[in-house]
Amino acid sequence: MTDHTLLDSIDSPARLRALPRTQLPQLAEELRAFLVDSVSRTGGHLSSNLGTVELTVALHYIYNTPEDRLVWDVGHQCYAHKVLTGRKEGMGRLRMQGGVSGFPKRCESEYDTFGVGHSSTSISAALGMALAAKHKQDDRKVVAIIGDGAMSAGMAFEALNNAGVADADMLVILNDNEMSISPPVGALNNILTRLTSSKTYNAARQAGRHMLGFAPPLLELARRAEEHVKGMISPGTLFEEFGFHYYGPIDGHDLDALLPTLENIRKLKGPQFLHVITKKGQGYKLAEANPILYHGVGKFDAAEGIQAGKGGGKLTYTQVFGDWLCDMAAADSRLIAITPAMGEGSGLVHFAKQFPNRYFDVGIAEQHAVTFAAGLACEGLKPVVAIYSTFLQRAYDQLIHDVALQNLPVVFAIDRGGLVGADGATHHGCYDLSFLTCIPNMVVMAPSTEAECRQMLSTAYHHDGPSAVRYPRGGGNGTLPDTQLDPLPLGKGELLRQGKDVALLAFGSMVAPALAAGEQLDASVANMRFIKPMDAALVEELARNHSLLVSIEENAVVGGAGSEVSRILESLGLKTPLIRLGLPDRFIDHGEQGQLLADLGLDAQGIVAQIQQAWNPA
C-alpha cells in the first residue's frame, strides 16, 4: 500500500483549504497513487479520473464547497472529488452493493450537487442552480465540469445558448482530454489565460468599451481587433459567440496555472468559460499509453497492469453482435453501422477496421444517431444502430417520430438490456421492453442464447420496418452460434418444456432461470422470443391447458412483456390467472448483477418462491 500521509489528513474540502498551496502538488501525487491502488482492487473508471486530479484539488481549494456548487458531467471524472469529500474509506466498496456509487449521487453526499450517469447534463443543471441562486439572492458560485466528448451532444449546446443570455454567474470548465479541439499548449497559454482572467484585464476591457461606446465605429473596430488577436492565441471564438468570456487553453495538470486562474474567475460576474487540457491516465504510464483499455476496468494488479488474455471466459452477446455485423456486411453492401460514441462497448471495433467507410461513430449524440439512421433508410440503405438500452432512452422522440412513424427499416441492436451491475440505476436497461412495445410498427425481440441472438439480428435485418433486438450484458448459456444468417419466423415462440398446471412464459435472459424453476415446479416453459408481435396462438394454447400463467422478464413489470400477455388474454376473453414477474417499480441501485437478480426474486429459487407464495391451487 502506498503511503498517503497528507491525503489521510483530508476528510473534507475545509481541511484541504487549510493547507498551504505549496503542499497541493504532494496531495495531488498521493491522491493519484491512491486512485490507482483503490480502483485496481475494486474496478471502475480509471483513466478519466486520473486526468482530473489536479483540477479537482484546485476546484475544492478555490471554491467554498459545498456552498459553491460543483456539477460534474457524466461522473467518470468524480473519484478524486469523492475522496476529498469524506468518502476515502468508502472507496474500498466502490460500485458494490451498499457501497459508494461510481457516479455523483445527491443522496450520498451534500457535495454531490447533481446526480448523473448520462453525459452532457452539467451545463443545464448548473444554469438552473445559478439562476436559482440569483432568484434567492444567494452569493453562491456554480461550476460545471464537462468533457470534450460530452460537449458533442446537442443538449450541451442548447444549455450554452441559453446560459450566454441568461445573465447567470457561472463557470463552465471544458476538460479537454483528447486534444480534439486545441493543439498542445504550454507556458505562453498559461500566462495569457492568467492575464486575461484577472480583474485588471477585465476592468480595463469594460472601461474601454464604455469609453468607445460614445464612438460606435471605434467600438466595433476594437471588438473586431480583440477577437482577431484572441483568435490567434486561443480557440474561444465559438464560446464567445455564445455570450461567455473564454479563457484558455490552460494546462489542467499545472496547479501554478490552475489556482490563480480559478481564483481570478471566481471573482467575475456573468457566464465564464475555462478550457483546460488534461491527459487521460495522467501519472499512470499504462493508462496514459492505452486510456481506452483503462477507461472502465475490472480488478487488476496495479504493478503489472491489465494482462491481455486473462479473464477471458465465454462468448458475450456483444461479441455475437459484432461477429454477426461483420458477416452481414460482407453479404450485403447496404449495411451501415452507427454508434453514439460506444464503438468499443458495443462490439464494433472489428467492423470499423473491416468496413471503415460504412462505420459512423457520431459522438455522444443519440438523437442525431437515430435520425441519421432514418435518413440513410430513406435512401435504401440498411442502418444498424448499436446502442445501450439506457442511452436509447435519450432518443425516444426520434425513435417514434423519425423511424417508427415512417415505418423505416432501421435495426436497433440494444445492448445492456436489464440489470448491468456496478454502474447502477443510471445504466440499468430496465424500461426498453415497456417503451418499445407501445410504439406502432416496432418489432421487438429478446434472445435466450447466443445462437438465438444471431438469428434475431438476421430477422430484424430482413424485416421491412423498424425492429429491435434487446440482449443483456455478458453471455448466455454458452451456445455457440453458427455462421448462418437465417432469420426466425416472425412472431413465433417455442415450447421448451411440457409440464402441468403452471406455464412459465419467459423472455430473453429469463429463459434459463425459468427452465430451472420449471424443473422444480414441473411447469411448462415457453421461450417467447418476441415481445412484439407476441405469439398470441402460443399464449392461448398455454392458457387453455394450464391453471396458471407466469410471465418472467428482466424489465420493469409495469408496461412490460407481461402486460402484453395480459392484453392478449383479455382480447381472447380468457380468465386464466396471470402472475407477472419482473423488475419492481423503483430504481435499483448498483451491485453485482447476479446478486441483484437474486435479491429481486428473478433467479430460479426466487421464481419458485414467488409463484408458491402467490398461487394457492384449490
pLDDT-derived band at 262 (thresholds 50, 70, 90) equals: very high
Provide the mean pLDDT of the chain.
90
Q: Which of 213-217, 258-262, 389-393 has the weakest average pLDDT?
A: 213-217
pLDDT-derived band at 182 (thresholds 50, 70, 90) equals: very low
3-state secondary structure of 205: helix
Domains 7-297 and 494-614 share a fold: yes
Query: Per CATH, which fold does 7-297 belong to?
Result: Rossmann fold (3.40.50)
Kindly tell me if the per-residue pLDDT of 226 is higher than 80: no
Q: List pLDDT tens digits, range 280-314.
A: 999 999 998 988 889 889 899 998 898 865 545 68
pLDDT-derived band at 188 (thresholds 50, 70, 90) equals: very low
pLDDT-derived band at 208 (thresholds 50, 70, 90) equals: low
In a 13 Å sphere around the CA of 597, the CA atoms on its Cβ side amount to 23
pLDDT-derived band at 232 (thresholds 50, 70, 90) equals: very low
Question: In the prediction, which pLDDT does 314 show?
Answer: 80
Q: Which residues contact 591 (CB under 8 A, 6 or more apart)?
A: 96, 97, 98, 421, 422, 424, 599
* Measured CA distances, 155 to 118, 119, 122, 152, 360 (Å): 11, 9, 10, 9, 20
- Taking the CB of residue 75, how many other CB atoms lie within 10 A of it? 27
Question: In the prediction, which pLDDT does 615 show?
Answer: 84
Question: In the prediction, which pLDDT does 223 show?
Answer: 59
Kindly tell me if the per-residue pLDDT of 32 is higher than 80: yes
Q: List pLDDT tens digits, range 376-407.
A: 999 999 999 999 999 999 999 999 999 999 99
Question: In the prediction, which pLDDT does 185 show?
Answer: 45
The structural architecture, per CATH, of the domain 317-470 is: 3-Layer(aba) Sandwich (3.40)
Residues labelled catalytic: 280, 366, 394
User: Residue range 531-549: average pLDDT?
Assistant: 98
Q: List pLDDT tens digits, range 484-507.
A: 899 999 999 999 999 999 999 999
Kindly tell me if the per-residue pLDDT of 449 is higher than 90: yes
**Contact predicate 476/317, CB 8 Å:** yes
Question: In the prediction, which pLDDT does 1 show?
Answer: 45
Distance CA 123, CA 129 (A): 10
Q: Which three cell numbers stand for residue 267?
A: 471573482
Distance CA 308, CA 367 (A): 35
Question: In the prediction, which pLDDT does 205 show?
Answer: 60
Give 577: exposed, middle or buried? Use CB within 10 Å, 0-12, 13-18, 19+. middle
- Taking the CB of residue 147, how many other CB atoms lie within 10 A of it? 28
pLDDT-derived band at 241 (thresholds 50, 70, 90) equals: confident
In a 13 Å sphere around the CA of 160, the CA atoms on its Cβ side amount to 24
Q: Looking at this protein, which amino acid is placed at residue 9? A: S
**Contact predicate 604/520, CB 8 Å:** yes
Kindly tell me if the per-residue pLDDT of 575 is higher than 50: yes
Q: Which three cell numbers stand for residue 284?
A: 499512470
Distance CA 323, CA 161 (A): 42
SS3 letters across 364-429: CCHHHHHHHHHHHHHCCCEEEEEEEHHHHHHHHHHHHHHHHCCCCCCEEEEECCECCCCCHHHCCE
Kindly tell me if the per-residue pLDDT of 520 is higher than 60: yes
Assessment of whether the complete model's pTM goes beyond 0.85: yes
The structural architecture, per CATH, of the domain 494-614 is: 3-Layer(aba) Sandwich (3.40)
User: Residue range 214-218: average pLDDT?
Assistant: 58
Provide the residue ranges of all domains of the chain, joining segments of one domain with +.
7-297, 317-470, 494-614
Question: In the prediction, which pLDDT does 177 show?
Answer: 84
